[in-house]
Structure 1
Amino acid sequence: MAFHWAEESAKQKDSYGLALLADCYYLGIGTEANHKKTAELYQLAADQGNAGAMTALGCLYSMGDGVEKNEKAAFDLFIEAAGQDEWRAQEHLSIMYRDGICVKKDEQLAFEWMKKAAKVENYETQSLLGEYYIEGIGTEKNIEEGLRLLNISANQGYYSAQFVLGMYYLEGKYLPQDVNKGLELLEKAAEQNYRGAQEILGYCYLTGEYIGEVNLMKGYAFMQQAEQNGSEYAKNMLKSFRTTMESVFNALETTGKKGGN
């Protein structure tokens, strides 16, 4: 239904219909996924001044997804879209200036763009801006404001904010140490398939680090989730764990045989 409506709208050269049809091709909704077609449709919508399509096309260029990777093209699209107050484009520009991607690194500009993006009170930008305040990226450190923004974002269910706050509680960094609160937040992030949280939880439960006791079943389960998400760290941890357990079982079996004699 969505694909049919978008296709009919796109035939009228409507920029929003073109962008929606691009989304359908990207996600494979009502049709086979075709990222090259996605890029072509976003370009048509962007040519009409659609800021959302500009941002989406910029993301494709930055990843080399459906088009040849071109950070300069991505930057130019983000600049144009950001001029229309498109918060996603402003967020991407912030990250590019923060990390020096395609432009000279400029943390002050990174902060300014992120602050503009956060005006829409989106949980993602609030989380990132919170980290900027805490780390002093392009601004004076303001732990209180950073934690306030992270908490707002985490309470809206954003996995990255939950992960960051969870680590702060676990380590007693910027917040009084509260292992239970830390584990609770990390598990919420892990439930959303956030690999970093799955890795940390797997490590904690397998080794007893921070929590003071080992829970092999939970640790193994979290590491398996992380491994399924492509974590090389989890893959190596599980390999080591299996080798250790095999040695233990072999030793027990040998001891049992000796005792039987």
Structure 2
Amino acid sequence: MRKITIGMVILSIILIGMVIPAGFSGQANSVVITYGETTHANTNYKSDVDSFFKSQSNLDLSNAAEKIITASDVNKIASTITGRTYDSSEIFSSALVNLKENADLKVSVDKDKITTITGDMYLSALKSAGIKSGHVYVTSPVTATGESALAGIMNCYEEATNVKIPETVKEAANKEIYTQAEVVEDSNASSDQVSKLVDDVKETVKKENVTDHQTIVNIIYNYTVNNNINITNSSIENLANSIEQIQNTQGDINTYENQVSEVLNNTSSNSNNFLGGIFG
């Protein structure tokens, strides 16, 4: 059984939304970088992170907006995810958010450093929240599991539109990421297997408008059998709870998307093209 400790280096881009400067909404040419304060204070760590971003994004980062994420920032979110409290020597992970790219949503994860959460897991959870475009890059100078990233990424999109994502939607998406991480750590299933399982089951549940918990459990169980995925009954139950929670937020997601549409209708044509790409 593979075991990855959810410890001091799990943190990935908590509170990205805090990095976007006031007045950003509607601008298409902004790139934002967040640095964990431990990384920012260490020249070698920061250089490693910047090298990854440059090589992956092919962007000139000299004009990118920057934000240092502190332990205080992280603890506001981490306390609800892992129950851990972190100090200023434990904040490593970093992210680049490129809002110039307004085609299909993309997430590029440094697989050498982010050990559990895959790009597909982030994609699935972000799409659950109604976010469908932009390009996010995730890395760390030291190994990290990555399950704490999602809340910050969603905050980034909140800042871009000045429309708040409902807390129910945030909680459901965060639960999805954390549950997948737990399943990967506590079973022999790979991250890719768990990600595809969740994505496919969510699609079935949404298409068939399933709200009954036991029916969702049965769908997951049948999927694991048909695809030879070995996870425990407890993991199936936890995944069912997560997917049920997502299904139950569809009304809030629809309300959110309608609010975003109102913003689009009141922006200039340039802003409309940009934001229309993010939320399609």
Shared fold per TM-score greater than 0.5: no
Higher Cα radius of gyration: 1
Query: Which structure features the higher share of strand residues?
Result: 2
Greater relative contact order, per chain length (Cα 8 Å cut-off, separation 6+):
2
TM-score, L = length of structure 1: 0.26
